Structure 1
């Protein structure tokens, strides 16, 4: 006859407990309404995680979602400007001079019924900035991309998506070396 040790008995107890818990959950049938395209539009507020190389920053951002467009009244341009203008004092002056930068992100939404989510496929356009430095302006074109779909989750009414600033061109010259800037919106809700 095989003898069981305390860790083995604990493992067996946990497995049985999890099994009973999961089987009781499958009997519960919460009434979750199906997601609709009309659920998506509205004013949102959420966490933005900006990553460039080893530098990671978090902030709270607001934006508006319409039928086929996400509108940022104040797109996060700090990292872009500080990549173009290396001097921190001049970069801060340029940011102040630029003020709020508006950006529209186009998307197409479709319903994923089995997962009760809306899938968003983005069509980002370039962002053009005229960055003032030392009495001149640097025409800066930022190529934005969306490598993955965004999601509106019907269960909790949250919106999740990400963008990447793949390339920056300054006065028609590609900025090199350049580390891409990732904009991650992991959890945004209607405000």
Structure 2
């Protein structure tokens, strides 16, 4: 039986060709990521909202708009707040239907972090005022919202990430007790336009 041997120069040529092909592929994938600007944050967004209160976790898709210095919700998620004020589930659902959509504006100041190619958002939430109808009466409810960390608009994937906390609920001047804070986490929101 004959032994087949490949000439050494043919092996060397294959190695060189493979190296050239791979190096040209590497150069094709390198694209410059444009630096982020303050104006990049503006637009309409859709994203995952994770609501956590104690051991209860709920997820939904939330829409909102971002303007120069404000995140505007046409419909802020108040279901958990209402259910903390109105303990009867049937009455809470009836109150939510009567209340309809609750708008909310979240003010922020923005600055560019060029090292990380992100826009950092520092929030100044205002108190959310609700009128919750129960048994023919109105429960005047104040919800103290807080932002305990900065939000970020990430330049690389054009996404927005932030969180809010409903720290305290006051009903007709009396703080709700016992009460466990409601966390509103927006881990990944993308622009729809």
Secondary structure of the residue that 2:149 maps to in structure 1? Answer: coil
How far residue 30 of structure 1 moved from its aligned partner, in angstroms, is 3.1
Q: TM-score, normalised by structure 2?
A: 0.84
Secondary structure of 1:89's aligned partner: helix
Deviation string, structure 1 residues 127-179 (Cα, Å, up to 9, x no partner): 00000000000000000000000000000000000000000000000001001
Structure 2 counterparts to residues 40-189 of structure 1, below 5 A: 40-189=41-190
Tell me how large the CA RMSD over aligned residues is: 0.9
**Distance in 2 between the 1:49 and 1:107 partners?**
21
Counterpart Cα distance in 1 of 2:142 and 2:93:
19
User: What is the SS of the residue equivalent to 2:36?
Assistant: coil
* Separation of aligned partners in 1, 2:38 and 2:189: 17
Report the Cα offset of residue 29 of structure 1. 4.6
Partners of 1:39 and 1:154 in 2: how far apart? 8
Superposition misfits of 4+ residues, deviation over 2 angstroms: none
Q: 1 CA distance for matches of 2:180 and 2:99?
A: 22
For 1:74 and 1:130, locate their aligned partners in 2 and report how far apart those are by CA, in whole Å: 15
- Structure 1: give runs of 5+ residues left out of the alignment: 1-24
Q: How many Å separate the matches in 2 of 1:59 and 1:29?
A: 36
1:3 maps to none
Equivalent position of 1:32 in the other structure: 33
User: 3-state SS of the aligned residue for 1:32?
Assistant: coil
SS of equivalent to 2:101: coil
How far off its partner does 1:97 sit?
Answer: 0.4
Q: Secondary structure at the match of 1:155?
A: coil
Residue 116 of structure 2: SS of its match in structure 1? coil
Q: Which runs of 5+ in 2 are unaligned?
A: 1-25
Say which one has the larger Rg: 2
C-alpha separation between the residues in 2 aligned to 1:109 and 1:30? 27
